Structure 1
């Protein structure tokens, strides 16, 4: 099983791992694009005003540009430890036992504007780049990633659960993936997608799927594991699941 998570804008700082080495990451087929984007991002960091504009940052966030400048030299952390925020708080990697963490590193992957996709245990540095960004020297990341990333994800010989957000889902379409939608339901039974609790509930589902000894291979298995964790889920169509907030 492969569970695809969205990344977060916020990252943990520092790390104990060796500096970035694309050869240490999963999906080596993506390394040419990774190299191209990383080089463009580091080059852009030499121009602070241009970086702030391209990355949609304020002057108070200039430290984010400094981290990009140090991309090749800064220490790394496992991807699941690097990303922070609501979803990753709910995933709660620090509380996992050794076996659970190993399963999380293997089963979870994070969509990334810089790396395309990384497995949970892949060592990555702190950086700032969003899926919808356009870098002056290379243009749209969507246009760059789609032809490289889609073939790689189509060839994944695993049950794929897609929890990505819109900008990252646009980087690569995965026709056979099961897409999870976080919804609320009113007294009349009318459902609508929610945004406020979206990330927290996706984090809880990711935790359930990654730490369970049972490894789902289809939607029925996903629903069994989710319900065992106390989550309310329901199949919607051939490749859709509603997760109730």
Structure 2
């Protein structure tokens, strides 16, 4: 089983430690591309219009400043740097040692800066969205798409892929449709169903935690994932097609 996560917008910088070693990150075939993005991001972050170019407000100026020196900033495991709603619900720190090992084996974060990293890879905090266009590289989703397709091909060729990414990050890589299940969250009220946006992150995080902490074998098919989800939620599975992944709907009722 492979679990794909998006990065969190908010990140927790490491307080101390060595800088990132790009050669040591998972998926080493992405090293050259990572260096290109790091350099382009530093260039944009040094411009007078950096905040506008990166699509952030003045309150994040310090994060943008950090982008200029990522080769010097202290790095920490991805599971501690990414600290948004999904990651809080996943709760890596409260996992047992065995569950942490499972997380580090199963979880991959698709990132605008790194392309894809393992859960235990050491990275610094940064500010960059997959929807951003960088000079010389263009839109990052388009930049990463062919590179991730090649780098992740072997990792996603066997077993179930549980895709918990948002649409922004899903645009950068499409795993094999036949063995991939995208996770969506819906709220049903008075017989009408609507998409849950912000709180979807929380429930996706809870689903990932359930997958990591439950006893028994990891699900290996979309149908098995549905059965696992139903241990905790009301859930439905929509079968995919040759080009579209299966969809697991977690249904919340008022």
Q: Please give the TM-score of this superposition, normalised by the length of structure 1.
A: 0.92
Kindly indicate whether residue 68 of structure 2 is the aligned counterpart of residue 88 of structure 1.
Answer: no
Q: Distance in 2 between matches of 1:115 and 1:125?
A: 11
Kindly indicate whether residue 49 of structure 2 is the aligned counterpart of residue 50 of structure 1.
Answer: yes
Q: Provide, for residues 37-67 of structure 1, a one-character-per-residue CA deviation record: whole Å limited to 9, x for no partner.
A: 01111232322x2321211122232101121
Q: Distance in 1 between matches of 2:144 and 2:19?
A: 23
Structure 2: gaps of 5 or more residues: 241-245
Aligned residues: 242
Partner of 1:114: 113
Q: Is the 8 A contact 1:6 1:112 kept in 2?
A: yes
Kindly indicate whether residue 179 of structure 2 is the aligned counterpart of residue 172 of structure 1.
Answer: no
Partner of 2:141: 142
Q: Distance in 1 between matches of 2:54 and 2:212?
A: 32
Partner of 1:224: 227
Q: Pick from 228, 236, 239: which aligns with 2:238? A: 236
Q: Distance in 2 between matches of 1:57 and 1:84?
A: 18
Kindly indicate whether residue 165 of structure 2 is the aligned counterpart of residue 158 of structure 1.
Answer: no
Q: Distance in 2 between matches of 1:219 and 1:206?
A: 15
Q: Pick from 190, 207, 210: which aligns with 1:208? A: 210
Q: Is the 8 A contact 1:101 1:211 kept in 2?
A: no
Q: Distance in 2 between matches of 1:106 and 1:149?
A: 18
Q: Distance in 2 between matches of 1:137 and 1:235?
A: 41
Structure 1: gaps of 5 or more residues: none
Q: Is the 8 A contact 1:20 1:124 kept in 2?
A: yes
Partner of 1:61: 60
Q: Is the 8 A contact 2:109 2:119 kept in 1?
A: yes
Q: Please give the TM-score of this superposition, normalised by the length of structure 2.
A: 0.89
Q: Is the 8 A contact 1:2 1:107 kept in 2?
A: yes
Partner of 1:27: 27
Q: Distance in 2 between matches of 1:199 and 1:58?
A: 22
Consecutive aligned runs of 4 or more in structure 1 exceeding 6 Å deviation:
none
Q: Provide, for residues 185-220 of structure 1, a one-character-per-residue CA deviation record: whole Å limited to 9, x for no partner.
A: 2332x4332113211101101111123342211123
Instruction: Give the drift of 1:15.
Output: 4.6
Q: Distance in 2 between matches of 1:16 and 1:226?
A: 39
Q: Is the 8 A contact 2:130 2:139 kept in 1?
A: no
Instruction: Give the drift of 1:139.
Output: 2.0
Q: Is the 8 A contact 1:54 1:136 kept in 2?
A: no
Q: Pick from 182, 187, 190: which aligns with 1:184? A: 187
